[in-house]
Amino acid sequence: MCGRSSLTKTEKEIEQRFHATFYSEELERYNPLPNYNVAPTQYHPVITDEDPEHLHLYKWGLIPFWSKDAKSGYKMINAKLETLEEKPTFRNLVKTRRCLVPMDGFYEWMHKEGHKIPYRICTKDREIFAAAGLWEIWKDTSGNEIRTFTIITCPANDAIQPLHDRMPAILSRDHEKLWISRDISGHEALQLLIPYPSDLMHIYRVSEKVNNVRINEPELIQEIE
């Protein structure tokens, strides 16, 4: 599972990393960056197969187009890789609505004697990476469009296994553009999703302040000895 993440870079750094640009009106409307404590239902940058040259701000928690209300978004923050082609909610999205979800870390918790100890997981170079995602368009009763996304998860690698049995499907840089390319099928795209190498990851303990989604400050990503 991936239920909390971070994207602590500036919009310029993100644009340079992915060779894509933000729409200024979206940044002015949501102003999400930098974010040390990204949580479901928040707006977060994504790059879609529909518009690979721009970064858009979509809401985390996928709402299927047929949903009667927005509540289902709370249940669909993640999509399990192994069942994507089986479940009607995701089957067509794999074919036509894939996206990149930029982040520079995510959080998992170790449960010890009834206590939740948070850890941050990032790459050893501390740079931005991209998780594979799916996106959707939902319309409310007034016809207003809400664009949402879910993060695909895969089995955890050896480094993360002690914390959780699943992890975001992190793409190698070579596969990022391919994941959102419409020149390959959904089935072919899924073959790109494998657990990220353990030896390229860094895991460290962080402040329990991250447990509170209302707290968003640089201290959250500082290592605790």
Catalytic positions are 2, 108
- Side-chain half-sphere exposure of 7, counting CA atoms within 13 A: 24
Retrieve residue 206's tokens: 């962080």
Retrieve residue 172's tokens: 């190698």
CA distance 60 to 56: 12
Retrieve residue 73's tokens: 């978004």
Task: List strand residue ranges (DSSP E) for the chain, in order.
Answer: 5-7, 21-22, 35-38, 43-48, 54-60, 78-80, 98-103, 105-112, 115-123, 129-139, 145-155, 166-168, 170-171, 201-205
What is 86-108 written as a DSSP string? TSHHHHHHHHH-EEEEEESEEEE
Cis peptide before 34 (omega within 30 of 0): yes
Alpha helices in 45-185 (DSSP H): 88-96, 173-179
Q: 31: closest CA among 11, 3, 51? A: 11
